[in-house]
Amino acid sequence: MKLSSIRPGSNSASTVMDIKNGHTSPLVKFTPVSIISGLLYPTDISNSNSANNFVGIVSSESCEPGEKCLIVSFGRLTSVSGLSFGSVYISKSGILTNNIPKIGENGIVAGDYFIGVGMVAENPDNIGQKDLIIFDRNPIMKLTS
């Protein structure tokens, strides 16, 4: 695993790692991932091992099984789409969402995990462009009824 600090967007340092994709499918940009047995897998909020080992967001356009993927665990990913400004979480289907995970909504059940990823904010260099700001400490909580 390689760890480095880069500046992908102005005014923000990021922690970036390259870790091998252990999943049977490609991992694409903006996929939340966990490290399990030293390899990357999509984060599953219904699995305690996966949720508690959430490491960051894929920044590579696509990463085939067995290839090393670039992951941002803290900092800024530019040009995010499909999300509104504000807080970002991991959904039951394993994608990023602005919807707060609540039991009884969007497939969320007691025992699933709440993972706060970060915030969508405006890019300081390109007004109108959205960036994902990834928290350096992600809140992870088991949901109970």
- Give whole-number Cα distances, 142 to 28, 40, 45, 112, 135, in Å: 26, 22, 9, 6, 19
The confidence score (pLDDT) of residue 13 equals 55
The confidence score (pLDDT) of residue 42 equals 98
Q: Can you tell me the distance from the alpha carbon of 49 to that of 84, in angstroms, rounded to the nearest whole number?
A: 29
Question: Which residues on adjacent β-strands are paired with residue 113?
Answer: 142
What is the share, in percent, of the chain residues with pLDDT greater than 70?
90
Structure tokens at 53: 């080992």
Name residue, tokens 């099984």.
65
Of the candidates 143, 36, 138, the one whose C-alpha atom is nearest the C-alpha of residue 92 is: 143
51-72 average pLDDT score: 94
109-126 average pLDDT score: 94
Q: Encode pLDDT of 5-34 as tens digits.
A: 333 444 445 677 889 999 999 999 999 999
The confidence score (pLDDT) of residue 18 equals 87
Question: Residue ranges of the alpha helices (H) in the chain?
Answer: 48-52
Q: What is the mean pLDDT of the chain?
A: 88
The confidence score (pLDDT) of residue 128 equals 86
Q: Can you tell me the distance from the alpha carbon of 86 to that of 132, in angstroms, rounded to the nearest whole number?
A: 9
Total-model pTM: 0.87
Residue ranges covered by each domain of the chain: 2-142
Structure tokens at 66: 């067995």
The confidence score (pLDDT) of residue 4 equals 32
Residues 6+ away with beta carbon under 8 Å from 88: 96, 97, 98, 116, 117, 118, 119, 120, 132
